Homo-oligomer: A and B are copies of this chain.
Amino acid sequence: MSAMVEPVSGGQRINHENYYSELTQGAHAYFDLGAFEFEMGETLPGAKLAYKTYGTLNRARDNAILFPHMYSGTSASMEPFIGVGRPLDPQKYFIVLPGQFGNGFSSSPSNTPAPFDRARFPKVTIGDDVRAQYRLVTEQFKIDKLQLVLGWSMGAEQTYEWAVRYPERVLRAALFGGTAKTTPHNYLSVCLHEEAIRSDPAWNGGDYRDPSAVKAGLTLHAHVFSVLGVCPAFYKKEAWRIFGSTSLEEFIQNFWEAWFLPMDPNNLLCMAWKWRHGDVSRLFGGDLRKTLAQIHAKTYVMPFANDMLFPVEDCAAEQAMIAGSKLRVINSLWAHFAMLCVDPADQQQIDRNLAELLATPV
C-alpha cells in the first residue's frame, strides 16, 4: 500500500486541520517570487513557490531533475518515486519537486491574504507554474539544463509547457497520463469536478466557514473521481483489494474520500481551472503541431491503458507530433491512478521506462 494514499500519517489521521502542514507533507523550502504577474493579467504581491529537493546539485550543475506534481497533490506526492538504486536516485541526481500554485504550500487560495484570498485568488495557468519554476531553476539554482522533467496528469501538462517554452533546457521529458492540450471531454470532466464542489451550499461562493464544512461537495467531487479516475475493469476485477479494502464501499471511503476530503475546496478549484485550460498551443497561435515541433527533449509519452480522463489515443495523437519520441503505454487496471503505484507492478513499469529514458544519450 502506498504511503501516498494512507489516510494516516505519522500516526495521525490526515484531516482539514493538518493536511496543509509540514507535519503531514514534510518540510518545504520557499522561493520568493515577489510580485508575480499571472498570464491572465492579475499580479499577486509576495508570491511564493514551495518546493522540496532531494540529492545534491553537482559542481557542473548538470544533474538536476524537475518533477512537478498532479492535481490535488503536493510536492510530497512525488516523493515515492525517489530512492537510492532507482531511476530517480538522490545519490546521482538533484531532484526538485516544485509545488504548483494552488496546492496549499505555494501561493494558493488557502494561504494568501486578502484581497487575493479564497475565490479571489488570481486565475492561474500552467504557463504561470512553469514560469515560476523556471525562475527557481535558473535564479535559485543556476541550472542551465535539466536532465529530465517529468510529471503525471497536471504534472505532465507542466512538463509539456517546459519542453515547449524552454526547449534548450529540457534534455528529456517523461509524460505520464496527461496532454499538451486539454481535450474537450477532459475539459467537461474537470468542469464536473468543479461543479461537484460548488453544488454544496456550504461552499458559499468560496467563503465557507471552514473547509470541513464543504464535506458534501468534497465527497461528491471524490465520487466523480471514483468513476473517472480508474476504469470499469478495475472495479469488476476488484483490483482495489490490493489497497487492503474488503468491500467496494470501504474502498470508496478509504481511498477516494480519504484522499480528497482533507483538501481545501478553493485550492482544488484553482487547480481544476488551471488543468482544464491547459494548452501549450497558445504559445504558437493555436497550432499544436507547430508547438510540439519545438520540443528538443528526448520524450517518452506514457499514457495509462484504460485511462478515462486521458485516453491512450489522445496521448498518442500528441506523441505522433513529437519528433523522435516514444509511446509507452503503462498497463494497469488502476488506469489514471496507476501513478499512485498502489500495485507494485505499476511502479516497476514506470521505473523501467524512466531508467531507459535516463540512460538514453542526448
- Residues on A lying within 8 angstroms of B by beta carbon are 183-186, 188-189, 191-192, 195-196, 199-201, 216-217, 220, 223-224, 226-228, 231-236, 248, 252, 308, 311, 313-314
Contact = CB atoms under 8 A, between A and B. Distances in A.
Nearest to A252: B188
Contacts of A195: 220, 223
Contacts of A184: 235-236, 248
A232 B199 contact: no
Given A183-B232, A236-B314, 10 more contacts: A183-B236, A184-B236, A188-B226, A188-B227, A188-B252, A192-B223, A196-B220, A232-B311, A233-B313, A308-B308
Contact of A231 (B185, B191, B216, B232): B185
Across chains A and B, which 9 residue pairs bring their CB atoms closest together, nearest first?
A: A184-B235, A185-B232, A199-B199, A185-B235, A232-B311, A188-B227, A189-B227, A201-B201, A183-B236
Nearest to A235: B184
Contacts of A217: 199
B186 A232 contact: yes
A245 to B, nearest CB: 13
B199 A236 contact: no
A185 B227 contact: yes
A311 B236 CA distance: 12
A314 to B, nearest CB: 6
A213 to B, nearest CB: 14
Contact of A185 (B220, B223, B236, B313): B236
B200 A232 contact: no
Given A184-B236, A216-B199, A234-B185, A192 B313 contact: no
29 contacts: A183-B232, A183-B236, A184-B236, A184-B248, A185-B231, A185-B234, A185-B236, A186-B232, A188-B226, A188-B227, A188-B235, A188-B252, A189-B227, A191-B223, A192-B220, A192-B224, A192-B227, A195-B220, A196-B199, A196-B220, A199-B199, A199-B216, A199-B220, A201-B201, A224-B224, A227-B228, A232-B311, A233-B313, A236-B314
